[in-house]
Amino acid sequence: MKTQFEIIGDRLKRIREQAGLSQAQLAKLCGWASQSRIANYEKGARGIGADDALILSKILKVSPGELLFGEQSPSSRPKLSSPNTLFLVGFRPGTLLKPMALLQWKTLYARSQQ
């Protein structure tokens, strides 16, 4: 059975290929030094955090919801209803959060609503 990271990685690869981009091209458009980050995402070796999900979704012209959760229809895509929704995207079990981290997540949420 595939992990969530692998499922999201497969989705990223499919979307990237539909956009006609190589891993290296996508990494360059995202402002990253090499394609290894993209390769790790696509293999499921690394989870996509909120910051990177926003960058990737803008470059690939899909919503973060489509990239991370597979939401396809614009009419069925719910708007992020609270900072907690975006917060859960980047949460890793066993991680303790500090008040500053929560403030950063709320800031990311505010940016995603613009």
For residue range 27-60, what is the model confidence (pLDDT) as tens digits?
Answer: 999 999 999 999 999 999 999 998 999 999 999 9
Q: Give me the pLDDT at residue 86, please.
A: 45
Residue 53: domain span: 4-112
Decide if pLDDT at 110 tops 70. no
Domain count, the chain: 1
86: alpha, beta or left? (left if phi > 0; alpha if psi -120 to 50): alpha
For residue range 64-105, what is the model confidence (pLDDT) as tens digits?
Answer: 989 998 876 454 444 545 444 444 444 444 445 445 555 565
Q: Give the C-alpha separation, 94 to 21, whole Å.
A: 35
Q: What is the CATH number of the domain that holds 41?
A: 1.10.260.40
Instruction: Give the pair of three-digit tokens for residue 11.
Output: 């989705």
CA-nearest of 112, 74, 75 to 90 is 112
